[in-house]
Amino acid sequence: MVRIWLATASLLVAPLTKAHDPIPPILESAASFVEETWSPDAGQKIIYIDDKFASVSDTDELTLIPPTAHDFAKTFQDDLAQVTGYNWTLKRVDKLSPNTNSSGIFLSSYTGDASDLTYENGKSSSEGYEIQINKRRVFIGGNGARGMWWGTRTLMQLLLAGNGTVSGTIGTDAPAYATRGYMLDAGRKWYSKDFLKELCSYASFFKMNEFHYHLSDNYPLNRGKNETWRDVYSHFSLLPEDKSLRGILHGRENETLSKDDFADLQSHCVSRGVTVIPEIEAPGHSLYLTKWKPELALPKKDLLNLTHPDTLPTVQKIWSEFLPWFETKEVHIGADEYDAELADDYITFVNKMSRFINSTAEKRSRIWGTYEPSKRNQTIDKDVIIQHWQYGQSDPVQLVKDGYDVINSEDWWAYTSLKNDHMPILPAKYPQFFNENRVFNFANKEDWQWTATDFNPVNTSLQLKENEALLRGATLAAWNDNGPDASTQLEAYYSMRRGIALVGARAWSGSRGPQLLEETTDTSIDFYSPLAPDQNLDRVLASTKDSKVLLSWSRSSSDGEQVHLGHGSKGMNYTLTLSVSGPFTLSGPDNSLSLDEDGSFVFTSDVWEYPLRQVSEEDARELDPGHPGRIWVNASSSTHEPVTVSTPNTITLVTDVLHGTVVLIDGEVVGRFEVFVYGGRNTQFSWSQMTFVAPLEKLEGGVDQLTLNGSAQFAKVDKSEPSGVPQGSQAVTCAASPILVTTGLIGASLLAVYF
């Protein structure tokens, strides 16, 4: 087993001599043993857990399958083995004392008064913990099982940041808010179970505790992509066992999660402290249903006709199928963007659905905040939780006055639109990558770090109080308004990567905790992201050479037509050079790249095909400052026609997140892989970059040589590169092994690519 301490080289652009603070920071800490350090290299490789505490599970959390402290300890044991390279023993013992002289890691209950560890509203939190570290041992005491778990996340970050050594520390910590979530739109694009599990592992590392799974939706009707509404893409992500309901899938049964799949996803996420909150949309965004039963639609075909006698029974039948699957005390019924003229029908529907779900499964319901002016003075039931997303749709201050529990998903700070922002779609302008500046400088006010109380970026006096009992917390959201082919699954991670860490940190710390250091947080997130246990969303590649060349392969006489390369996928950034003699296919777990006999050069990802298209060198190189990666159809020197590739030749693929995957043939830029994005009612269309990881598992056909470089550099360049400009991925030498871990900068502050 290989440990992942980082010894002599730098990861990304952050020198290892520079400290990386935990994200989120510890609420109250003191370096009382600063002259002492603890390292797993010394002493016993034993995790002790108090036997009585081992059986504790939290009753105040949302999941219906809460892990015990011992369950969390076993997951921690696996993570520790992955990070340190040592096999650790987990032992239950009758009694633990934080003052014991034995060496190892000790897990038990919080030694102080449980009422000391509270949310910011004063309510006791089982998510709080204490941590004590000296030269012989680590003690983590949880106010509950999850508190102990979050303490292990802090220890893991300290270990990684200290390169395997942790300074002596005493600290106590607890989250400011109970809801610290992220939402992914899986109703306009399919996401695999494995990807969603990795995303849960990643989010947990930054103390996120909810995954809002938006599992049904449809492509916007006003984009003009399809001739009829029946052809517009809609999706439902779960596979009903009741075959009479499978009309909602529209032939895409292979792009769903079965009952067992979903149980596995929930179990995996909750094992890392994350509860899955499923959302089934209705009565808006319901094309998945109205294409199956068109008689239930209003003239705007993705809206349900709530006066039709079969509408409510049909929606309730769908929920009856899936409620037994959902291992959570709360679910989300959508209720977003319905016709305001039909407000009373809408309110009646929401209340009936909420009561139905509560009486059937004893679960509370969440809805999106939606402006519905009742003509009969009807109101949404007070036990419905409102997820505020936009002013004009709901007012969080008024909601709290009216007695509703509220979640902050204000679109100004929380929303991203995968691949392209909403420009020129109005009124919202949602960025393709999470807008970090709106967390560090809320309302465009310098040094106002956002917390979950901060909703209104215009009238800054209208926020909620820090101790507001009805404020549950916050959830960021990544939307697929541009459709299923506009991005890959991993591009959702690139969009959310920093946002998950930042929102997790600020929702944990709140106004009472330490603020993030803006000048170092980006590099710390870049440092931690590829190292968070039980995920490889960065598609880190192992190589056996201490060189910028991560992989070099040449066909030998013993190689057959098919060659097993065995390297999976390489994530951002990379340059892949192929010496090509004929048609070939490179494949990996995430995608495939093929050249056929007719010269068609195509990436295939999630069943979608993306041919290489002609793009000028200028368009490939220069990024629109407001819309990086986007090439407008009315302002381009590129034809975007498919490129025919002849052989033999040398093909070079250069990839980073903003430029996408650009192709050079024999040193000349010929195009990139891209997707056509419809502009909607403003009718300004564009081509947007597709960013593909390099498929490196299997090779079939006419590639004679393959070379992979861990940075995004073009072949036709002046070999001298600007000083001080980071060039993408770095090779990081592991102390215990000659294996190299390679990673790349991805996200909103990606590296420049030079010609």
Q: Which of 673-682, 686-695, 732-741 has the lowest mean pLDDT?
A: 732-741
Which has the closest alpha carbon to 737: 532, 546, 536?
546
**Cα gap 39→165, rounded to integer Å:** 5
**Cα gap 515→207, rounded to integer Å:** 16
Overall average pLDDT of the 652-661 stretch:
97
**Cα gap 347→371, rounded to integer Å:** 10
Residue-level length of the chain: 755
Q: Which tokens is 644 given?
A: 């025919």
Tell the CATH topology of 28-173.
Answer: Chitobiase; domain 2 (3.30.379)
| Cβ within 8 Å of residue 526, ≥6 positions away | 11, 12, 13, 14, 743, 745, 747
**Cα gap 406→469, rounded to integer Å:** 10
Query: Which parts of 372-468 fold into alpha helices (H)?
Result: 396-401, 411-414, 437-440
**Cα gap 426→721, rounded to integer Å:** 40
Q: Which tokens is 107 given?
A: 């897990």
Q: Which of 389-403, 606-620, 716-730 has the lowest mean pLDDT?
A: 716-730
Confidence of residue 680 (pLDDT cuts 50, 70, 90): low
Contact (Cβ atoms closer than 8 angstroms) between residue 671 and residue 612: yes
DSSP, res 221: G
Question: Mean pLDDT, the chain, as a whole number?
Answer: 89
pLDDT at position 683 is 62
DSSP, res 11: B
Distances (CA, A) of 355 to 330, 348, 351, 394: 13, 11, 6, 22
Which has the closest alpha carbon to 561: 581, 589, 540?
581
**Cα gap 358→352, rounded to integer Å:** 10
Q: Give the tens place of pLDDT for each residue, 10-53.
A: 222 233 335 799 999 998 876 555 578 999 998 889 999 999 99
pLDDT at position 745 is 35
Contact (Cβ atoms closer than 8 angstroms) between residue 489 and residue 191: yes
Contact (Cβ atoms closer than 8 angstroms) between residue 73 and residue 47: yes
Overall average pLDDT of the 318-328 stretch:
99
Coil/strand/helix, residue 531:
helix
Query: Has residue 646 got a pLDDT over 90?
Result: yes
Q: Which residue has the tokens 């003075």?
A: 377
Q: Catalytic residue positions?
A: 337
Q: Give the tens place of pLDDT for each residue, 461-509.
A: 999 999 999 999 999 999 999 999 999 999 999 999 999 999 999 999 9
Cα 32 from chain centroid (whole Å):
36
Higher pLDDT, 20 or 651: 651
Q: Give the tens place of pLDDT for each residue, 686-712.
A: 899 999 999 999 999 999 999 999 888
pLDDT at position 98 is 55
Please give the backbone phi and psi of residue 750, each rounded to the nearest 5 degrees, phi first.
-70, 165
629 Rama sector, left if φ>0, alpha if ψ -120 to 50, beta otherwise: left
pLDDT at position 32 is 52
Q: Which tokens is 43 given?
A: 């002493």
Q: Which of 147-161, 267-281, 339-353, 683-697 has the lowest mean pLDDT?
A: 683-697
Overall average pLDDT of the 349-356 stretch:
99
Helix (H) or strand (E) holding 154: helix 145-161
Higher pLDDT, 408 or 556: 408
Higher pLDDT, 354 or 424: 354
Please give the backbone phi and psi of residue 690, each rounded to the nearest 5 degrees, phi first.
-110, 130
**Cα gap 429→342, rounded to integer Å:** 27
Q: Alpha-carbon dihedral of residues 11, 663, 487, 585, nearest 10 degrees?
A: -100
Query: Has residue 647 got a pLDDT over 60?
Result: yes
**Cα gap 203→272, rounded to integer Å:** 9
**Cα gap 509→466, rounded to integer Å:** 11
Helix (H) or strand (E) holding 578: strand 574-587
Query: With pLDDT > 90 as the criterion, what percentage of the chain qualifies?
Result: 81
Helix (H) or strand (E) holding 579: strand 574-587
Query: Has residue 717 got a pLDDT over 50?
Result: no
DSSP percent split of the chain into helix, strand, coil, nearest 5: 25, 30, 50
Q: Which of 206-215, 246-255, 361-370, 742-751 has the lowest mean pLDDT?
A: 742-751
For 550-566, the DSSP string reads: EEEEE--TT--SEEE--
Q: Which tokens is 96 given?
A: 């633990």
**Cα gap 369→396, rounded to integer Å:** 9
Distances (CA, A) of 238 to 232, 241, 260, 477: 19, 9, 11, 20
Return the CATH architecture of domain 179-531.
Alpha-Beta Barrel (3.20)
For 261-325, the DSSP string reads: HHHHHHHHHHTTT-EEEEEEEESSS-HHHHTTSGGGB-SSTTSB-TTSTTHHHHHHHHHHHHGGG
pLDDT at position 428 is 60
For 682-708, the DSSP string reads: G---EEEE---PEE-SEEEEEEEEEEE
The β-bridge relationship of strands 104-109 and 137-142 is parallel
Domain locations in the chain? 28-173, 179-531, 541-743
Contact (Cβ atoms closer than 8 angstroms) between residue 49 and residue 90: yes
Helix (H) or strand (E) holding 395: none
Q: Give the tens place of pLDDT for each residue, 604-634.
A: 999 999 999 999 999 999 998 888 899 988 7
| Cβ within 8 Å of residue 465, ≥6 positions away | 453
pLDDT at position 344 is 98
